[in-house]
Structure 1
Amino acid sequence: MEQHDLHHEFPEYRDQIHALKVSNGHFARLFDEYHDVNRHVVRVEVNAELATDFELEDLKKRRLRLKDELYEMLKGQAVN
């Protein structure tokens, strides 16, 4: 199964992820939400939880939106 946690998705931003988690409340909330959604997706994919195809697709889209927003924040931090 593919790893989708942020450290696997963006290994080059490991230091920025840590810095933003401790210094930026908005980033920390999005980070936690991303990982909650990701865990939910994984549980559905391994059949530990039930979900319709529509629900799973919706969760994956939500995970992607969160990842995009977090990535934009990481890129901005790297420039500063």
Structure 2
Amino acid sequence: MLNENHALIFDFPEFKQDIVYLNYKDEAFQTLSKQYHVLDYDIRQLEVAGSPTDDEHMHQLKVQRANLKDVLFQQLKAHHDKAVATS
């Protein structure tokens, strides 16, 4: 879907507390999260503008976003599972 916001909070609402915590306490997560959100914003802007880029470039951006999301998801899941296990 064009111009869909893929913010982590929207895509992983079950990890909302983990997202907030890791963005505050984990510098590596925060850096990757910022990269992800900038990339998502850039993709949405290209979509709104009628994709003033070639298909291959848009595909590369979306693959990069998906790969970042996978890495962030694994970190979120690991943090969540650890938090649940210690509570």
Q: Pick one of 21, 24, 33 that aligns with 2:23.
A: 21
Q: Pick one of 41, 44, 47 that aligns with 1:45.
A: 47
CA distance in 2 between partners of 1:21 and 1:33 (Å) = 12
**Structure 2 unaligned residues grouped into runs of 5+:** 83-87
Kindly tell me the number of residue pairs found equivalent between the two proteins.
Answer: 80
**Structure 1 unaligned residues grouped into runs of 5+:** none
1:1-80 matches, within 5 Å, as: 1-47=3-49, 50-80=52-82
CA distance in 2 between partners of 1:59 and 1:14 (Å) = 25
Aligned sequence identity (%):
30
TM-score (norm 2): 0.86
CA distance in 2 between partners of 1:54 and 1:40 (Å) = 15
Structure 1 segments (4+ residues) deviating >3 Å = none
Larger radius of gyration: 2
Distance 1:49-1:2 versus aligned 2 partners, 3 A rule: closer
TM-score (norm 1): 0.93
1:5-61 CA distance string (max 9 Å, x none):
111100010000000011111100000000010011001111176211111100000
CA distance in 1 between partners of 2:41 and 2:50 (Å) = 11
1:16 is aligned with what amino acid?
D
